[in-house]
Amino acid sequence: MSYAISDHEFKSRIAAFTKENPQPTKIRKANGLHDQEPCSRIRLVPFDQIKLGTEARYLVKGIIPRDGLIVAWGPPKCGKSFWIFDLAMHVALGWQYRDRRVQEGAVVYCAFEGQTGIQARVEAFRQTFPIETDQPVPFYLQPVTLDLVAQHADLIAAIKQQDDTPVLVVLDTLNRSLRGSENDAKDMAAYIAAADSIREAFSCAVIIVHHCGVDGTRPRGSTALSGAVDAQLAVRRDASDAIIVEVEFQFSILHGAGPGGLTTERWYDMARNEGLGVNLKADLYDNREALRSKGIVREYGDRWNVR
């Protein structure tokens, strides 16, 4: 059986079918056509809808930003992992950390160097700080060594299987989760991108535990790491064997100021508002000079900005 249909009716039927059965967007690449769904993450926000967020800016006041990449570095056996685990437990339990406000939430601790050491730390914490709660502590251990660049999506998927969305993910250490070279800028950039994917997936803080270089003055390997993180913490032991943590820099203050930078006094005022150098002005001076000596910030005229 055959039948005739007008050109107008034919086009009308095609239009109706297309509306009811939308096709994936075709994106032309160098190697041909590929089907891809429209990207739902891309959106344009009108100017009058851009508002300053009301959420807390810090996970641990003045030390760990609420959402960002952080590197904690230091020489072997300086207590990096011990200190970070202690801080992470305070976050999971919602306890103040050395009189600093803490935003409570779930923690995922990736012990890439194995679980034996952290098992001892967990037991020591239980004995030192009795946990008086009937609820499960929202702390999750991931004890398997991973190639973070290749397997970060698997890690994200495993975290999503839990009921708790983490506010903090710890990667301990960079060396045991990087299959490339710490000295290669491309390998380090790929690692940073993988860590940032974790941060973005959960809008959380990601702490990368790392070793120091030969001279002990900065994190080991490519400077791409220091250039990408939002906070850098130097960990060491003093003569009495106490663990000392120095907040070397948090880029957010100067980054937010833009190319115009900030005067010294304005920078100090904003730093104090974030809990830095509240007790001693010398701390702000020392931090500033540490940033200058590393070439991270510069002073031009009477203003400071990020290089």
Q: 38 lies in a domain? A: no
Query: What is the pLDDT confidence band of residue 61, given thresholds at 50, 70 and 90?
Result: confident
Mean pLDDT computed over 5-32: 49
Write the CATH number for 257.
Answer: 3.40.50.300
Separation of CA 126 from chain center: 27
Q: pLDDT tens across 277-303, in order?
A: 666 666 677 667 767 765 667 888 889
Angle at 294 between CA 292 and CA 297, to 5 degrees: 40
Q: 103 lies in a domain? A: yes
Domain that holds residue 181: 61-300
Mean pLDDT computed over 77-106: 95
Q: pLDDT tens across 175-230, in order?
A: 999 999 999 999 999 999 999 999 999 999 999 999 998 888 889 998 888 878 88
Query: What is the pLDDT confidence band of residue 251, given thresholds at 50, 70 and 90?
Result: confident
Angle at 282 between CA 303 and CA 103, to 5 degrees: 85
Mean pLDDT computed over 152-181: 96
| Tokens read off for 119 | 């098992």
Query: What is the pLDDT confidence band of residue 148, given thresholds at 50, 70 and 90?
Result: very high
Model confidence, pTM:
0.72
Q: 52 lies in a domain? A: no
Q: 71 lies in a domain? A: yes
Predicted pLDDT of residue 288: 77
Predicted pLDDT of residue 71: 96
Residues of the chain with pLDDT > 90, as a percent, come to: 49
Q: What is the spatial distance between Cα 4 and Cα 183, in angstroms, rounded to a whole number? A: 71
Q: What is the spatial distance between Cα 306 and Cα 56, in angstroms, rounded to a whole number? A: 24
pLDDT at 4 > cutoff 50: no
Angstrom distances, CA of residue 222 to CA of 14, 206, 227, 233:
57, 19, 10, 17
Q: Calculate helix-pair angle for 80-93, 116-128, nearest 10 degrees.
A: 50
Q: 49 lies in a domain? A: no
Q: 2 lies in a domain? A: no
Q: 97 lies in a domain? A: yes
Counting the structural domains of the chain, the total is 1
Q: 1 lies in a domain? A: no
Highest-pLDDT range among 110-124, 181-195, 265-279: 181-195
Q: What is the spatial distance between Cα 245 and Cα 166, in angstroms, rounded to a whole number? A: 24
Closest CA to 245 of 196, 215, 283, 273: 283
